[in-house]
Structure formats: C-alpha cells, structure tokens
Amino acid sequence: MWTGIFGHRAPRRGLMPTLALLLSLLPASPPRADIPRVRWLDGLPFAQVQAEASPTNTLVFVVFNAPWCGFCRRMEKETLANPIVREALMPFLGARYDVETPVGGETALRFNVVGLPGLLVVNSSGEVLARESGFIDAQRLVRFLEDARTMTLSPEELAEKAFQPNASPEIVVRAAQALLDRGREAEARELFQGLAAHGEAGSVAVTQSLLALASLDARTSGTDAAIATLRRATAEGRDPDLLREGYTFLVTLLKNSDRGAEEAVAWDEFAARLPSDPVVQEDYVRALLKIGAAPQKVFDAAVRAEQLAPEAPWPKGGKAEALLRLGRPAEAMEVVGEAIRLGPEEESFRVLRLRIMEALRPAGPGASVEKRTRREK
C-alpha cells in the first residue's frame, strides 16, 4: 500500500529571459528530432537513482503514476513528450514510478505522495525541493522546474513566516510541506491542523491541509483515520485539481484495503463531482468494468464519457463491453470497430472483438439452418 501527502504549488517567479522566450514559442514550436532524450532511471530503488545523481549534485525529477490514472497517461503523452519540457529537463536526472509496484509504492511512501500524477524535484541528498500534484501542461511544468532550481527560502525561514499571526494560508501550507520534507513532522502537523481547524472550509489551503493530514494519518493512525480525513476533504473541497487528488488518494487506499463496495461508492462520488471532466469520466468507466458494476450502469457511464470526448477510444471500448454484457452483441460489434479505429494500439479492444464474434457465432448446425431460414423469409 502506498500513502502520501499533497504538495504545495510552488509560487511562480519571473522566468529567465531565455526561458521566457522559449515559453512564448511553445504553441508554434514543431517537434524537433535533435532534442536530446532525458535520461530516465525508471522503477529503480531511489537509493540507486540518488547514487547516480550524487557525484555531480544533479537534481532528480521524479514522476509517480498508476496504470488506471487517466491524468498520468495524459501527462506522459502531452506534457513530458513536449520539446520544451524535454529541453527544460536536460539538467535533471529523471525517475518514474508506478505506485502499484513494490518499489514505486515504497518510494511514494517515502516522499509522502498523494495525488497522481505526483511530481517532485529532489536534490542529490534526497531532500524535496518542490512538489506538484495532478496534471499540468508544458508551460506550468517548465515554470515548476525553474522554481525548483531557483528556490531561495529555507524551511526555517518559511516556518518563521508561517508562525506569524498574519501569515497567509498559502505561506502556512508551503512552510508545513517544507518542514515535512525535512523530517520535522510534529511542526508540520501543527501547521496543517491549525489550518484545517480554523481556515475557511473548502478553501484550497484547508483542502491541502486535510490531504496532508490524511497522509500522516495513514502512516501513524491507520487507514481508517486517513479515509475519514479524506472524506471530509472531498466533501468540502471545491477546487477541481484538489478534488482529483483527494479522490485519487481515497480510491487507492480503498483499493489497497480490499474495500470494493466503498471503492465503488467513491468512484460514483468522484464522477458526480466532476461530471464535465472527460478524463475522470473515462477512468470511471474503466473502474466500473474492473469492479464488475451492472452492465447498464457501465453503458450509461460510457455514453456520458463518449459525449464528452467523441474521438476518445476508451469510452467506446467500455460501451462495447457493456453492450456485450447486456446481450446485444451485434451493436457491440459495431461500437468495438469504432474503438479499434480510434485506438488501434489498444490490444484489449481486439480481444473484446473476438469475444463478441464468439457471441455472434451460431450455437450449432441447427442454429445455422435456423438463421438461414429466417434470412430467406
């Protein structure tokens, strides 16, 4: 099981002139074949990654993902593959972790990761300099990387500001996260608890604090305490990005605890809270199929996801699966053909088509005669 903590969004500083120029060119910049590839050490124990970074004091850019996370797939395809991001990442060493693997889960636990995709910049001593959660586009990622490289305030300076009576919630969250990243858990918890108790319910800072406390609860008080805190965070929260992170953390804890019925309810809530988000709705279809939800429920969810993203293959694949389970194989065959056309690389669609063909096959010689007789009539 992995648990973690939501990280602050680093404040946006002014960019270097050359970086600003690169950003201004982003929309029009075609892919360049001459951009060097980032060196990724994916899935290795972090101690090995750190050993590679230490001799040259190289910063490590760490990405946490999961196979079922739609925003992770989108991050990989749209953001990390962008030429300007590849340029910005060249001074870094990269490491990607699937949180459902033993090494990935252990590494996520070490760094208090909550939302997926989870992004960290870690120095060669293993200290977290900056963190971000959820999908971000290329421009934001470049700024995030630049912020991490030019970070000036120490945790002590941040803590001093955070404990001032007039400290802003944003400073408090940032200071608490920095303290936690340096192992000063008691001080971090005090700051997070203060915000959660006295801040504006549903605000960004309070929701961030609740997500952080859920992570700490998971490590110190157990899964039940963490889930209770997450339920408050998701019930009160208003920020879409934080809702994604909160529900992602919640369904992960429930999945890892084999609490399938509660996981199904959490997915229902997740989809209902973000009804216009095509990635959430697609992930909802995937989750319903994996959970074994009623075929009609899967079909209805797939239709909604399809309406939000008509050219996305997976809603059609889910729809075809639901039609097959509903005993409508002829319709399923038509829909799965569309899914294959839109997602030719998805092997599961071809497997599904074979299953549909099997369902359409006559039961025996007598059935073939009966079918031919009906056609002749």
**Which CATH number is associated with domain 275-377?**
1.25.40.10
> Is 275-377 in the same CATH topology as 17-152?
no
Pairwise CA distance, residues 141 & 82, whole Å: 10
Q: Tokens at residue 74, please? A: 């989108």
Q: Where are the domains of the chain?
A: 17-152, 153-238, 275-377
Give the Cα separation of 373 and 368 in Å (integer): 9
Helix (H) or strand (E) holding 109: helix 102-110
**At 368, is the secondary structure helix, strand, or coil?**
helix
Q: What is 17-152's CATH number?
A: 3.40.30.10
Q: Which DSSP category does 100 fall into?
A: T
What H or E segment, with its residue span, contains residue 342?
A: helix 329-342
Per residue of the chain (377 residues), what is the pLDDT tens digit? 333 333 333 333 333 334 333 333 444 444 444 555 788 999 999 999 999 999 998 999 999 999 989 999 999 999 999 999 999 999 999 999 999 899 998 899 889 888 899 999 998 888 888 888 889 999 999 988 987 876 656 667 777 878 887 788 888 888 888 888 777 889 899 999 999 999 999 999 999 999 999 988 988 888 999 999 999 999 999 999 999 999 999 998 998 889 999 999 999 999 999 999 999 999 999 999 999 999 999 999 999 999 999 999 999 999 999 999 999 999 999 999 999 999 999 999 999 999 999 999 986 555 444 444 344 44
Q: What is the DSSP string of 290-331?
A: HHT--HHHHHHHHHHHHHH-TT-HHHHHHHHHHHHHTT-HHH
Question: What amino acid is encoded at 279 in this protein?
Answer: V
| Separation of alpha carbons 209 and 197, rounded Å | 10
